Amino acid sequence: MKEFAKYLARRYSVVNAEDVDAVSNNQHNQLDNACSQGDKRKSLRATRSVNASGILNSFFNERSSNKNARSPKCAFLLLSLGILAICAAVFVKIFHPYDLIFKWKLTMSEGGEIFNLWAKPPVDLYLKVYLFNITNAAAFMEGREKMHVEQVGPYVYKEIMTHENITFNENNTMSTNPSHPLVWQEHLSEGHSEDDEVVMLNIAMLAISHLTADKPFFIRMGLNTLFASQDSKPIVRMTAKEFMFGYATTLTSLGNTFLPGWIYFDKVGLVDRMMDFNNDYETFHTGVPDTSISGLYATYRGSPNLPQWDGDHCSNIENASDGTKFPSFIQPNDTIKFFRKSMCRPVTLHRADDEVIPKGSLSGYRYIFEDNLLDNGRVNEKNQCFCRKGYCQPVGLVDVTDCYYGFPISLSFPHFMDGDPRLYTDITGLEPNKEKHSSEFIVEPQSGLPLSLSVKVQINMHFRDLSAYSRVKRFSHLTVPMLWFEITLPELPDSLDSRFNFYLNILPWIEPVGFWAGLVFGLALLLYAVTRATMRLTYLSKTGQSLEVNYARANLLQAATNGVYNPCEMKLLHTNEKNNILLRNAGHESDVLYNELQHTALTPKHQGAKRGSLALELEPAISNTDTSSSSDEGNESDTATLTISRNSTPSCSDDGETNNDSFISKSYASDDDEQSTAGISLNSCRNSIVESHGRVPGQN
C-alpha cells in the first residue's frame, strides 16, 4: 500500500499534505459537477480520483504522525542534554577545574612539567662581571694619591643552572646538589677578552694580613719575613681570567699546606669562589600540600637557618627562592625572599609599584630590594644581626667573611650605591647610578615564574687596622671595590613564553566561558524542550490527532479491500463538515438505500454545512459510536449513526440490489435534552423503496 501511495504521489505530482489538499479540492469540485449533471461515468472517474487523494492524504498523515511520534523522544533527549549542560556549569562554578589543574601542574613530581623546568631551566641565564682596574697603583702605594679605579667589562658568561641528584623525601621535600657551571660568551662581552690585563689586589696576601693582624708578634714577624722573601706586593698585574677564576701564588700554596682547615684550593679567584657549590646540598618544597611554596627552599645544608647569622631575620632562608621559581599565587602586597650562596644571606624583596609589567606574552609584578637592606641596624634595628661578632660595618656593606673562607669580603650595591658617602670618597672613579646599578625582579604572580631578572651585587675587601704589616698598612680602614656582577635573565625563550601564555592567559578563560556557555545552552535546551512538548500536547488535545493517527492505516486497508465509494455515496458523505452523519457500509447494500437515508437523516441545518474531509478519513470513526455521542453531548443538533452494507461495485442507479440485511440505528437528542433511540429494520426500508419503485431491491 505504501508503494501504491508513492505511485499516486508521482502521478498527481504531490510532495506534501498541502499539495494533496489542492488535488482533493479539485477532485471534489469535479465530483460535485458530475453528480449534479447525473453523468455516471464522470462521477465514477471523479470518485476514484477522490479516493486516490484520500489514500495520499492518509499516506502523508501517517508519515507526519511517524515524525510526530518521534517528537516526545526528541524532547526527552533535549531535556536530558539541557540538564547535563547545567550540571556541568554548576560543577565548573563550584570546583573551579582550572585552579585544580593549575595547582596540580605546580606540584613537583618526578617527570612532571614544572619539575623538569625547575631541575634544568631552559632559560638563558647570564653572569656579567665588571672589574675595577686600579690605574694609579704606584702613586697610591706611595701615599701621594687616593686609589683611583676604572670599570672594565663586561665579561659575560652563560650560567648553566641545574639541580642534580634529586631525591624525593617523605616529608614532601626533595634534596639536590646544585650546579652552576659557566660558559664564556665572547660575542656578548662587547670586545673584552678574558686575556685582558688588569691591575688588581693580591687577594691572598691581603687576606692573610687581615686574618693575622691581631695575632701574636712572632706570627706577624714570620709573615713579614715571608712577604719580604717572596717580594709579595698587595697590587699586582694579571689577566682578567686569572683574577676571576684564580691564579697560583706561593702564599696560597703555603696556606693550603699549613692551614688545611682554612682553604682547600691552590688558587684564589673571586668568581671561582663565588660559584663554588662543591659539597653543597639543598632541600626544596614539592608543593604538597601547599602549592604556593613549590620549588622554594626548605633547608640549606640541612638547616633552614644559615650558621653565620643569629636570629631568624638574618639567617632563615625557608621559603626563599634561588631564582628558578618564586612563590605562586602572589598577592599585590606580599613580600618575597631571595637567596643565593654568593650573597651569603636571604634578601627580602617588595613590590616597587602598582604597575603590571608586560614581558612577551606574559606580565608580572616588579620587585626590588627592600629599603635599607644593607644598613646593619642603624636604620632598621632588625638588621643588627648582620653585625659580625659585634662589629658593624659602614652603611651599605654587609660582612660575608664567613662565606668566603675568612677573606675580609663585604658586599654592597655597585659603585657603593646607597652606601655611606665615605665609601666612594676614599676611592675615586666610582659613579653610582640608580638606573644602571639597581636590581629588579619581574615575577609572574600566579605561577611564580621569573619573567626577567637583574641582580646586581658588588664584592669588596673591607680592611681594619693593618699597620702591623708595612707592605699593606696603606690599606688600613679602607674598603676597596674589586668587581661587581649582574645575574641576568633578559627574557623567557619563545617556547617557554608560548607554553605559559597558554596556561596563564588562554586556559583561565575556558572556565568562565564554559560556565556561561553550559548554563545558557542548558537553559535554552530546557526551555525549547518544555515549549515543544507543551505545544505538542496542546495541539493533540485540540485536534484529536491521536485518533487520526491510529485510524490512518485502517483507512488505507479498508480502501484497498472494499474498493471505492460510488459517486452518490461520496456526495452524501461530504455534505456535512461536522461529521454528524457517519456511514458504514458493512455489507453490499445498493445506492438506493443511501438515497432513502438522505431524506431521513439530514436536516435543513445540515444542508448548509461546509463539506468535510475525505470519506476515507471519516470511515474509521463511524464504528466509534460512543465517542461520537459523548463528544456531541449537549449540542442542539441531531446525531445519527448509520451502518450500511454495500456491494463492491457501487453505482448511482436507482435499480441497485441488496444482498444482506443491515440494522440502522439512530440516536438523537431533542431540544429539551431528552434522548430516545429507535431501531429501524432493513425490511421497513425495503418497503419504502417498493412503494417508490415498485420492486424490492435485490430482486429480479
The phi and psi torsions of 151 (rounded to 5 degrees) equal -75, 130
β-pairing, 162-168 vs 173-179, is antiparallel
477: left (phi over 0), alpha (psi -120 to 50) or beta: left
Which triple of cell numbers denotes residue 165?
Answer: 641528584
Q: Which of 92-101, 473-482, 686-695 comes out lowest in average pLDDT?
A: 686-695
Please give the pLDDT value at position 65.
55
Q: Which of 568, 608, 600 is nearest to 666 (CA)?
A: 600
What is residue 138's predicted lDDT score, i.e. its pLDDT?
Answer: 92
Quote the cell numbers at residue 680: 429501524
Residue 638 has pLDDT above 60, yes or no: no
pLDDT band for 134, please (50, 70, 90 cuts).
very high
Residue 124 has pLDDT above 50, yes or no: yes
Mean pLDDT, the chain, as a whole number?
Answer: 74
Q: Which of 641, 631, 621 is nearest to 555 (CA)?
A: 621
Among the ranges given (173-182, 307-316, 413-422, 582-591), the one the predictor scored with the smallest mean pLDDT: 582-591
Q: Which residue has the higher pLDDT, 255 or 574?
A: 255
- What 3-state class would DSSP assign to 690? helix
Query: Which whole number is the average pLDDT over 34-41?
Result: 63
Q: Tell me what the mean pLDDT of segment 647-676 comes to.
A: 38
Per DSSP (E only), the strands in 463-519 are 479-489
Q: Span 662-673, mean pLDDT? A: 37
Does the pLDDT value for residue 155 go beyond 90?
yes
Q: What is the pLDDT of residue 606?
A: 42
| CA dist list (Å): 545 to 317, 337, 542, 610, 640 | 82, 79, 8, 21, 23
Average pLDDT score over residue span 268-275 = 83
Considering only 91-105, 515-529, 670-684, which range has the smallest mean pLDDT?
Answer: 670-684
* pLDDT value of residue 450: 93
Average of per-residue pLDDT across 35-56: 61
Question: How far apart, in whole angstroms, are the C-alpha atoms of residue 660 and residue 686?
Answer: 12
The predicted pLDDT at position 37 comes to 63
Rounded Cα distance between 400 and 583, Å, is 117
Per-residue pLDDT of 222-237, as tens digits, reads: 778 878 887 788 999 9
Instruction: Locate all alpha helices (DSSP H) within 316-472, ordered by sequence.
Output: 421-425, 434-437
Q: Bigger pLDDT: 375 or 593? A: 375
pLDDT greater than 60 at residue 648: no
Is 435 or 586 the better-scoring residue by pLDDT? 435
283: pLDDT strictly greater than 60 = yes
What does the pLDDT average to over 409-428?
Answer: 90
Distance (Å, whole) CA 481 – CA 198: 14
Q: How many Cβ atoms are within 10 Å of 478's Cβ, its own excluded?
A: 18
Distance (Å) of CA 158 to CA 40, 127, 188, 194, 486:
111, 6, 10, 14, 12
Which residue's C-alpha cell is 585552579? Answer: 99
User: Cα angle at 301 between 295 and 302, to 5 degrees?
Assistant: 85
What's the whole-number mean pLDDT along residues 162-187?
92
Residue 213 has pLDDT above 70, yes or no: yes
Please state the rounded mean pLDDT for residues 279-283.
88
